[in-house]
Chains A and B, each alone.
Chain A
Amino acid sequence: MKAAVVGATRGMGRALARLMAERGDALVLLGRDAAELEVSARDLLVRGARGVVATARLDLAEPAGFAAALDAADRALAAFDTLVVTAGDFAPQESLERDPARLGRLLDVNFTATAVLCQQAAERLAGRGGGTVCAFSSVAGDRARQSNYLYGASKAGLSAFLEGLHLAYADRGVRVVCVRPGFVKTAMTAGLPVPPFAGEPDAVARVVLRAIDHGTPVVYVPPIWRWVMLAIRLLPHAVMRRVRF
Chain B
Amino acid sequence: MAELKSAELKSAGLSLEPVAGWGRHPVERGAVARPERLQLPPDGRPVLPRGLGRSYGDAAVPAAPGALILETARADRVVAFDRERGTLTCEAGLSLAEILRVFLPRGWFPPVTPGTKFVTVGGCVACDVHGKNHHRDGSFGHFVDRLVLQVADGSVVECGPARERELFLATIGGMGLTGLITEVTLRLQPVESAWMVVETEPVPGLGAMLDGLWDAGKDWPYTVGWIDCLARGAALGRGILMRGRHASQAEAPAGPPPEPRRLAVPFDAPEWLLSPVLMRGFNAAYYWKHAWWKHAWWKHAWWSHARRTPARRTRGAARPVPYHGFFYPLDAIGDWNRLYGRRGFLQYQCVVPRAAGAPAVAELLERVVEAGTASFLAVIKDCGPESDAYLSFPLEGTTLALDLPYRGARTEALVHELNATVIAAGGRVYLAKDAVTRPEDFALMVPRLAEWRKVRDRWDPEHRFRSAQSVRVLGDTP
Which A residues are within 8 Å of any B CB, using their own CB? 9-11, 14, 36, 39-40, 42-43, 46-48, 92, 94-95, 187, 190-193
Assess the B14–A191 pair: CB atoms within 8 A.
Answer: yes
For B81, list chain A residues within 8 Å (CB): 46
10 further interface pairs, Cβ-Cβ under 8 Å (given A10-B36, A191-B11): A39-B77, A42-B77, A47-B102, A48-B102, A92-B10, A95-B11, A190-B35, A191-B12, A191-B14, A193-B15
B contacts with A, residue count (CB < 8 A): 20
Interface membership of B34, Cβ < 8 A: yes
For B74, list chain A residues within 8 Å (CB): 187
CB distance from B168 to the nearest CB of A (A): 23
For B14, list chain A residues within 8 Å (CB): 190-191
Assess the A43–B77 pair: CB atoms within 8 A.
Answer: yes
Interface membership of B256, Cβ < 8 A: no
Interface membership of B278, Cβ < 8 A: no
Task: Please report whether the interface of chain A is mostly helix, strand, loop or mixed according to DSSP.
Answer: helix
Q: Name, among A14, A95, A191, the residue most crowded by chain B CB atoms within 10 Å (CB to CB).
A: A191
Given contacts A190-B13, A191-B10, is CB(A46)–CB(B34) below 8 Å?
A: no
Q: Which residue of A36, A46, A192 contacts B102 across the interface (Cβ within 8 Å)?
A: A46
Given contacts A92-B11, A191-B12, A191-B15, is CB(A43)–CB(B36) below 8 Å?
A: no
Given contacts A190-B15, A191-B12, A191-B14, is CB(A42)–CB(B36) below 8 Å?
A: no
Assess the A187–B9 pair: CB atoms within 8 A.
Answer: no
Could you show 26 A-B contacts with beta carbons less than 8 Å apart? A14-B36, A39-B77, A39-B79, A40-B77, A42-B77, A42-B78, A42-B79, A42-B80, A43-B77, A46-B78, A46-B81, A46-B102, A48-B102, A94-B7, A95-B11, A187-B34, A187-B35, A187-B74, A190-B33, A190-B34, A190-B35, A191-B9, A191-B10, A191-B12, A191-B13, A191-B14
> Complex formed: what's the CA distance from A173 to B10 in Å?
43
For B79, list chain A residues within 8 Å (CB): 39, 42-43
Of residues 1 through 52 on chain B, the ones whose CB sits less than 8 Å from some CB of chain A are 7, 9-15, 33-37
> Complex formed: what's the CA distance from A193 to B10 in Å?
9
CB distance from A22 to the nearest CB of B (A): 8
CB distance from B474 to the nearest CB of A (A): 30
For the complex of A and B, the 9 pairs showing the least CB-CB separation, nearest first, are A190-B13, A43-B77, A46-B78, A191-B13, A191-B10, A46-B81, A43-B78, A187-B36, A191-B15
For B15, list chain A residues within 8 Å (CB): 190-193
For A39, list chain B residues within 8 Å (CB): 77, 79
Assess the A47–B78 pair: CB atoms within 8 A.
Answer: yes
Residue of A nearest to B88 (CB): A46
For B7, list chain A residues within 8 Å (CB): 94
For A187, list chain B residues within 8 Å (CB): 13, 34-36, 74
For A48, list chain B residues within 8 Å (CB): 102
CB distance from A32 to the nearest CB of B (A): 14
For B9, list chain A residues within 8 Å (CB): 191
CB distance from A5 to the nearest CB of B (A): 15
Residue of B nearest to A41 (CB): B77
For A40, list chain B residues within 8 Å (CB): 77
> Complex formed: what's the CA distance from A203 to B13 in Å?
22
CB distance from B38 to the nearest CB of A (A): 12
